[in-house]
Amino acid sequence: MGARDTDDAGARSGADGRGPDPLPPEARTANLELWNHWTRIHEKSDFYDVDGFKAGASSLWPLEREELGPFIHEGTTLLHLQCHFGLDTLSWARLGARVVGLDFGDEAIALARRLADEVGLSGRAEFVCADLYDADAHLGDRLFDVVFVSWGAIEWLPDLERWAGIVARHLAPGGTFYMAEIHPFASALDEVPGEHDVQVRYRLLPAPDQPYADPVQGSYADAGADTSGLTAYGWNHSFSEIIGALTGAGLRLEHLHEFPTSPAPFWDWMVRDDDRWWWLPDGKGGRRKDLPFSYSLRASKPAGGEA
């Protein structure tokens, strides 16, 4: 999100008092190996542009700054769940937030801490190495003005009700939850062999007990990277499951926006615009705008309410 970091010693069964870890052990082991491997690839990739970040560039998408930026001020507290190696987390810190990033990847968290030191943000940025479902054990009763989740995060989680409960418990009353993610419909698509077109191939409705387990070919940040022998375990989630989990945890939906663009290409024949978004071509030199590939969601926790 090798050897475990010392601050990731939470119990694998019920550290939050809410039952056993919903992640199957084989899925957790495979995904941790994958994300540690990807971290080494991503640190050097053009996609993440770590050198540019060190020079002062923000890793945040304009969409995120436009929609969540108005809620970020000097001293705003922000929790970033599944933060990978923390570029977005640190980009929010540069905008004045006091941030905590949480991820299960020990190599990613070690890199995030090094980057925070290198760019002078360690005083306002903390990184926690822990499984998402163990977040309560590591965060205690801490509350945050903003909880942030972005891009390819929830597909690694089988239980969204438990995830949403963690979001709600660590969001301060009156606080803002924001997520920018891959659209559920896009996750069900595959390319039509031999054509620059798509078809529905994978399940749209959730199946927590039926993860997909696929051999990994490269990375979303570097399609040609060597990932031989690695497997990804994941879960598709529908909008009803996502929104139902959040509202069931006591949050109030404020907006849901859908977009025909993706932050990374699903297939090598997609086309990139000047703002780094990837589109399906329409076969006529233009771009298709009829299929959703991403969405953003903002929710709030009622002031004085209990999640």
Boundaries of every domain in the chain: 25-181+206-259
Taking only the tens place, the pLDDT of each residue in 205-230 is: 767 777 888 898 888 888 889 999 99
Q: pLDDT class for 16, splitting at 50, 70, 90? A: low
Q: Are 68 and 54 in contact (CB under 8 A)?
A: no
Average pLDDT of every residue of the chain: 90
Q: What are phi and psi of 28, to 5 degrees?
A: -60, -45
Tell me the H-state helices in the chain. 25-43, 50-54, 62-68, 87-94, 106-118, 135-139, 160-169, 184-187, 239-248
Determine which of 10-24, 29-43, 90-104, 188-202 has the lowest per-residue pLDDT on average.
Answer: 10-24
Top-confidence residue, 21 or 123: 123
Give first-to-last CA distance, the chain, whole Å.
Answer: 26
Query: What's the confidence (pLDDT) of residue 11?
Result: 38
SS3 content of the chain, % helix, strand, coil (to 5): 30, 25, 45
Q: 221-280, pLDDT tens digit by residue?
A: 888 899 999 999 999 899 999 999 999 999 999 999 999 999 998 888 999 999 999 999
Protein fold of 25-181+206-259: Rossmann fold (3.40.50)
Dist. CA 94–CA 89, nearest whole Å: 9
Q: Strand, helix or coil at 218? A: coil
Whole-number percent of the chain with pLDDT over 70: 92
pLDDT band of residue 152 (cuts 50, 70, 90) is very high
pLDDT for res 18: 64
Check residues 153 and 7 and name the one with the higher pLDDT: 153
| Per-residue burial over 286-305, b = 16 or more CB atoms within 10 Å of its CB, e = otherwise | ebbeeebbbbbbbbbbeeee
- What global pTM score does this model have? 0.90
Which residues are bridge partners to 148 per DSSP?
80, 178
Q: Do residues 54 and 86 make contact, with C-beta atoms less than 8 angstroms apart?
A: no
Q: List the one residue out of 39, 221, 237 whose CA is nearest residue 155.
A: 237
